[in-house]
């Protein structure tokens, strides 16, 4: 590979119209950001992010769609809303993180932190099934779908998981049987 090829490989693909798309679809005025970085300074999860929240916003402004959708930051965000609360320009940073998760999913790309996505899907499936979340069912589905069940069987840590579940059951904090609601049809209509 020549130096020039390497350079091309690292070059950012810019999509100049993306900012306008993000703003109209999310309703968030990303262009209002003047990079004070207050979002990043207050963010409790920067230690686990590959790019910082202010950089995500800047990259959206610059149309760096591919790079933003490939970062783990939007999946590490816990939605604590500190950034949104403190932004002096009313940029809903946490809202943009959610918008970017949905955009990544819609694009069919590989999700940077797939287990978090599996968890959210399992959670919504619980709601779809019964109208309420049954925690034991949620954890069971998550373990199966995320591949954690297999991994924990292989490295023999499944016992820890079961011990925790058993302890919760003994303390009365885990039910074995779910409760459902009557209005399941309404819920399925919402979660089509």
User: Where does this chain bind other proteins (CB under 8 A)?
Assistant: 44-45, 47-48, 76, 78-82, 84-85, 92, 94, 98-99, 101-102, 105, 113, 115-121, 123-124, 126-127, 131-136, 138-139, 142, 146, 164, 167-168, 171-175, 179, 181-183, 186-187, 190-191
Q: How far apart are CA 97 and CA 33, in angstroms?
A: 15
Q: How far apart are CA 99 and CA 31, in angstroms?
A: 16
Nearest-approach distance from CB 157 to other proteins, in angstroms: 12
Nearest-approach distance from CB 154 to other proteins, in angstroms: 18
Interior/surface letters 74-99, b for 16+ CB within 10 angstroms, e for the rest: bbbbeeeebbbeebeeebbbbbbbeb
Between 9 and 189, name the residue whose CB sits nearer to other proteins.
189
Q: Which two tokens stand for residue 72?
A: 């783990």
Nearest-approach distance from CB 171 to other proteins, in angstroms: 4
Nearest-approach distance from CB 6 to other proteins, in angstroms: 33
Degrees, nearest 5: CA angle 128-132-134 = 100
The Cβ-side half-sphere exposure at 27, using a 13 Å CA radius, reads 2
Between 8 and 45, name the residue whose CB sits nearer to other proteins.
45
The total number of residues written for the chain in this structure:
192
Q: Which two tokens stand for residue 169?
A: 């059951």
Q: Please count the helices (runs of H) and the strands (runs of E) in the chain.
A: 13, 0
Nearest-approach distance from CB 94 to other proteins, in angstroms: 8
Between 32 and 62, name the residue whose CB sits nearer to other proteins.
32
Between 14 and 45, name the residue whose CB sits nearer to other proteins.
45
Between 50 and 81, name the residue whose CB sits nearer to other proteins.
81
């Amino acid at each position: 590979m020549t130096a020039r090829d390497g350079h091309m490989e690292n070059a950012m693909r810019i999509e100049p119209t993306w900012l306008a798309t993000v703003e109209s679809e999310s309703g968030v005025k990303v262009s209002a950001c003047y990079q004070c970085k207050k979002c990043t300074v207050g963010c409790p999860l920067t230690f686990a992010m590959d790019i910082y929240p202010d950089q995500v916003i800047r990259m959206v402004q610059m149309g760096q769609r591919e790079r933003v959708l490939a970062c783990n930051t939007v999946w590490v965000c816990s939605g604590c809303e500190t950034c949104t609360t403190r932004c002096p320009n009313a940029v809903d940073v946490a809202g943009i993180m959610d918008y970017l998760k949905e955009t990544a999913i819609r694009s069919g790309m590989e999700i940077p932190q797939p287990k978090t996505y599996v968890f959210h899907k399992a959670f919504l499936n619980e709601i779809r099934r019964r109208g309420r979340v049954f925690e034991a069912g949620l954890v069971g589905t998550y373990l199966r779908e995320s591949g954690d069940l297999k991994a924990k069987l292989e490295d023999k840590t499944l016992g820890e998981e079961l011990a925790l579940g058993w302890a919760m059951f003994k303390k009365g904090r885990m039910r074995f049987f779910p409760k459902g609601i009557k209005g399941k049809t309404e819920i399925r209509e919402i979660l089509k």
